[in-house]
Amino acid sequence: MADWQPPGKDCGACGAKSCAEFSGLMERGEKTPDECPFYSIPGGNAFLPETGFSGTDVCGKAYDFVIGPLPGEPSARKIVLPFRPDLVERWNIAKGDIVLGRPMGQGCPVQHVLRVIEANQVTGVLTCHTVGPRTARDGGAKDVQAYHVVGFEGIATVIKRPPEFGFRQSFLPSFCMMQLAHTGVVNMVLEKSSGLHVRVEDIRIL
């Protein structure tokens, strides 16, 4: 499909360092669209022009909004609680550390690589950015193996319905490699110059 462009996830699964690099390789004939894992997703080529998102997930379910990064950040903030929260204190997990784990509490089959922004030594709660798998290949990552996703925080792009305080709504984390809609309770909505700053908690994949 000549006008197709990768979705900007920068997941690295195609072998390129970024979606922009992949686009350049396609232009030179060194890559083809079907090498992108998002190319074959149903509806994946029918992005909404103003957002770059299709409005439905990989299972065909509609979502209300997309949560993307805060200004200057690489991804939406992801708040997680390891199944073994004591490891945060025991391993002295701190800001800047790379943590590996699977969101087993939500039933996600994909291992995630997270860069810690803040670590609470008392509760074990970690606030992180999701980063690409290449980040963990240099060694030194701390593998907590499994965790619960407590919440997400970032800028909301409205697709179907804007986030409303106190309501459980369907949303898509902009970096989700599965392109699977999540649900959560909206517990913060702030109108800022950068957009709608939201936090969503009690995350479930239904």
Residue 157: its pLDDT value, please? 93
CA end-to-end span of the chain: 32
Higher pLDDT, 25 or 188: 188
Residue 1: its pLDDT value, please? 44
- Tens of pLDDT, residues 141-194: 999 999 999 999 999 999 999 999 999 999 999 988 888 999 999 999 999 999
Instruction: Kindly report the pTM of this predicted structure.
Output: 0.77
Residue 39: its pLDDT value, please? 67
Cβ-Cβ contacts under 8 Å for 185 (sequence gap 6 or more)? 166, 167, 168, 200, 201, 202
Residue 51 has pLDDT above 80, yes or no: no
* Distance (Å, whole) CA 99 – CA 115: 6
Residue 7: its pLDDT value, please? 73
Residue 68 has pLDDT above 70, yes or no: yes
Which tokens belong to 109? Answer: 């089959």
Question: 90: exposed, middle or buried (C-beta count within 10 Å: 0-12, 13-18, 19+)?
Answer: exposed
